């Protein structure tokens, strides 16, 4: 029986003002990520997938606040940690990559320096050694000419290269968990394929678990072993990736799959009309409260 690396238990969060919850955003989300596992959260805008990741990172800003549940990381509740302890964990044991690398990188520092900072901050390395490690890190994310590229500023790099720099930074301290929030949405398809492959290979090599957030079911399928489907602040279905796509149980998951034109389906079945999710979910509010499937436990997890 493997113990979960991250155990999200009945996480609730909302817009809180004067201790009163004005608007519930997450209505009790539970899932587990095993060590080394890639877990995907998929859903449309506003389904609550990004705030889930921000809550794990402890980066929720006012007026959002966690109103219930627990976030157990290696058995320790992240919600109980002080700001200082959280800062030590963030970037070190839990790292994150974002959709738009340009806004996440400092435009005034070379990328080499920004990566080196990770080693100096979290591992107490000296400047010289950290620089060398940064160049190695750039090489590991397959940036050509890493020693020269380390002297570049973010604006001198293409979107794909910047995302590689983000990955190098995130993986610098060999974190246990990498949170990737739509990391390839802004990229061209062939670059996206390269970056996905890179994340997949590096995390498999180092045994890093991944929480991968995307609205694109295809991207999730190519990288994750298990998937959770989010809708309106609830996890409506969770299963192993293959099983979820072959045999979706929840009405919403079925709708989401039917709403996408899938490559190859027109030659097999002719052009079918795409499913309009709004019309199958006549009453969205009813769906969220009552009818969702109880999430299945990961294999080997405690029942």
Partner 1 sequence: MSGPLLRVDDLHVRFPVSGAGLLGSGRRMLHAVNGVSFELAKGECLSIVGESGCGKSTTALSIVGLQEPTKGTIRYRDQPLNGADAPSRLQRAKAVQMVFQDPYASLNPRQSIHTSLAAPLRLHGVTSASEISDRVEVMLNSVGLTPDQAKRYPHEFSGGQRQRIGIARALILEPEVVVLDEPVSALDVSIRAQIINLLLDLQEKFSLSYLMISHDLSVVEHMSDRVLVMYFGQIVEEGGWQDIFEAPAHPYTRRLIAAIPKPGFSSDEMAQKTDPTPGLPSGRGFVSDGSNAPDVFVAPAPSELVEFAPGHRVRLSPAD
Q: What residues line the site for partner 1 (CB under 8 A)?
A: 44-45, 188-193, 196, 215-222, 242, 245-246, 255-264, 266-267, 271, 273-278
Minimum Å gap between C-beta 264 and partner 1 is: 7
The helix-helix angle for 111-123 and 127-140 (nearest 10°) equals 120
Q: What CA–CA distances, in Å, run from 71 to 44, 128, 137, 210, 259?
A: 23, 37, 30, 16, 33
State the minimum distance, in angstroms, from the CB of residue 288 to partner 1: 15
CB contact at 8 A, 220 and 42: yes
At 210 the three-state DSSP class reads strand
The C-alpha atoms of residue 46 and residue 105 are separated, in whole angstroms, by: 25
Beta carbons within 8 Å of 279's beta carbon, 6+ residues apart: none
Closer of 119 and 292 to partner 1 (Cβ): 292
Distance CA 96, CA 98 (A): 7
Nearer to partner 1, 59 or 243 (CB): 243
Please state the closest distance from residue 26 (CB atom) to partner 1, in A: 19
- Judged by beta carbon, residue 76 or residue 156, the one nearer partner 1 is 156
Is the CB of residue 225 less than 8 Å from the CB of residue 51? Answer: no
- In whole angstroms, the minimum distance from the beta carbon of 292 to partner 1 comes to 17
- Helix (H) / strand (E) element for 28: namely strand 20-33
In angstroms, what is the minimal distance from the CB of 143 to partner 1? 16
CB closer to partner 1, 59 vs 204: 204
Nearer to partner 1, 54 or 191 (CB): 191
């Amino acid at each position: 029986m493997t113990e979960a690396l991250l155990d999200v238990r009945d996480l609730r969060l909302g817009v809180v003002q004067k201790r009163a919850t004005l608007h519930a955003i997450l209505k009790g989300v539970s899932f587990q990520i095993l060590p080394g596992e890639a877990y995907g959260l998929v859903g449309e805008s506003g389904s609550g997938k990004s705030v889930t990741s921000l809550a794990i990172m402890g980066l929720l800003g006012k007026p959002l606040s966690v109103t219930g549940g627990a976030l157990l990381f290696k058995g320790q509740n992240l919600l109980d940690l002080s700001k200082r302890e959280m800062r030590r964990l963030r970037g070190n044991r839990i790292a994150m990559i974002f959709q738009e690398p340009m806004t996440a990188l400092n435009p005034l520092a070379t990328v080499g320096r920004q990566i080196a900072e990770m080693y100096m901050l979290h591992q107490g390395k000296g400047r010289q050694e950290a620089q060398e490690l940064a160049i190695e890190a750039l090489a590991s994310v397959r940036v050509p000419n890493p020693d020269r590229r380390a002297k570049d500023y973010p604006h001198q790099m293409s979107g794909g290269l910047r995302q590689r720099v983000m990955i190098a930074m995130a993986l610098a301290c060999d974190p246990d968990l990498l949170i990737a929030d739509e990391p390839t949405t802004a990229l061209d398809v062939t670059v996206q394929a390269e970056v996905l492959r890179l994340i997949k290979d590096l995390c498999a090599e180092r045994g890093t678990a991944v929480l991968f957030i995307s609205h694109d079911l295809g991207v999730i399928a190519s990288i994750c072993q298990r998937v959770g489907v989010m809708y309106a602040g609830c996890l409506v279905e969770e299963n192993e990736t293959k099983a979820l796509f072959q045999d979706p149980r929840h009405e919403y998951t079925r709708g989401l799959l039917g709403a996408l034109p899938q490559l190859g389906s027109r030659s097999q079945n002719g052009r079918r009309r795409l499913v309009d999710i709004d019309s199958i979910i006549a009453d969205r509010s009813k769906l969220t409260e009552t009818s969702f499937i109880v999430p299945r436990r990961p294999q080997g997890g405690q029942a």
